[in-house]
Amino acid sequence: MSEMIKIAVDAMGGDNSPKKIIDGIIHNHQYDKNNFYKIFGDKKKIQSLINSKINNNNFEIVNTLNKVNSEDSPLEAAKKGKDTSMWLAVESVKNKSCDIVISAGNTGALLVISKLNLKMIENIDKPALSALWPNKNGMSVVLDLGANIECSPKNLFDFSLMGAALYRSLYSNIPNVALLNIGSEELKGNETIKETFKLLNNKKTQDFNFSGYIEGNELMNGNVNVIVSDGFTGNVALKTAEGTANFITSELKKALNGNLIGKISSLLNISNLKKFKKRLDPRRYNGAIFIGLDSPVVKSHGGTDFIGFSNSLDVCSRIIKGNLIEKIKNNI
């Protein structure tokens, strides 16, 4: 067996925690025995949930009753002290007892606590929140999704380098990178976008191909693997895509269950409908990554279930196996 990947888990963040978190760990352990889970939170609750469902050699519980709440501001979360489950989980990556940290808790708090504990990669000014989106041909990396409302051309250029490194660490292919813009022509967009275009057009790295601009209606066509924007635009695009996917699935369900013909049609097409539903299932794409810090930090959606959390643990494993931080440093 190769050396275990050590994942620091904030067990107290997100809805229905710690049960959801522990169920996700148990599910993840069923198909990946090479992960070690260092679990931070209420030991009594966690122990009763985990029982003997995981080999004792694959987990450790670090007891703390203090936690960051979903309604806490980032400042309030930081002031709660260094004994919250989130702080201790991040700190374990800082002191190298774990390889990567994951939390389903408060996003702003996780970013602030991570920045207080972890250094930035040299020459990177801001971390970005990145995530995976489905497209016609597979998956795309999209960033920034809300960590930075305002960005300079240097920030967007750095996001391109880091996003390309993330894609290569997960999929091992040379990606096509594009800037999210209101048009595909070089003259379109604000000055920040135009200046970033020039920087990327003149890049010297061979680690990705620059494909220019991409418009919102082309995000899922699969021609681009890394899509770059400021945090405001990226977050709006993300929420729009999520809302559209939910609308399509709910309306399709209504149509197929509304009358006898619809029900017969759904029975005849049950295999294709299952594939369609699985393709749009947001749990498959759970696990956003703060990149730019010198250690990897993963944010699971607070409202996901244990399947979604298990998938984000798989993202953690792939990030470490893919040597993300070294790839970013080499790109920079």
One DSSP character per residue, 85-148 reads HHHHHHHHHHTTS-SEEEE-S-HHHHHHHHHHHSPBPTT--S-EEEEEEEETTEEEEEE-SSS-
User: Dihedrals φ, ψ of 282, to 5°?
Assistant: -65, -20
The two domains 1-124+292-332 and 131-283 share their CATH topology (first three levels equal)? yes
CATH for 131-283 is 3.40.718.10
pLDDT score of 1: 42
Segment holding 202, helix H or strand E: none
Residue with tokens 């995530």: 131
Nearest to 10 by CA among 57, 55, 77: 77
* Alpha carbons 166 and 142: distance in angstroms, whole number: 10
pTM, entire model: 0.84
Beta-carbon contacts of 80 under 8 Å, excluding residues fewer than 6 positions away, are: 66, 68, 72, 87
- Give the C-alpha separation, 298 to 313, whole Å: 9
Query: Measured between alpha carbons, how far is 305 from 311 in angstroms, rounded to an integer?
Result: 10
Report angle CA 263, 285, 92 to the nearest 5 degrees: 145
Domain extents in the chain? 1-124+292-332, 131-283
In tens digits, the chain (332 residues) has pLDDT values of 458 999 999 999 988 999 999 999 999 999 888 999 999 999 999 999 998 888 888 999 999 999 999 888 888 888 888 899 999 999 999 999 999 999 999 988 999 999 999 999 988 988 999 988 888 888 899 998 888 888 999 999 999 999 999 998 888 789 999 999 988 777 777 899 999 999 998 887 778 899 999 998 888 888 999 999 999 998 888 888 778 777 777 777 776 676 665 566 555 565 655 665 565 566 676 778 999 999 999 999 888 889 999 999 999 998 999 888 888 888 77
Give me the helices (H) in the chain, please: 19-31, 43-50, 74-79, 85-94, 107-117, 153-171, 191-201, 231-257, 260-268, 270-279, 306-321, 324-331
Taking CA atoms, 37 is separated from 4, 21, 60, 116, 312, in Å, by 10, 11, 6, 23, 13
- Could you please state the CATH topology (level 3) that the domain comprising 1-124+292-332 is classified under: Isopropylmalate Dehydrogenase (3.40.718)
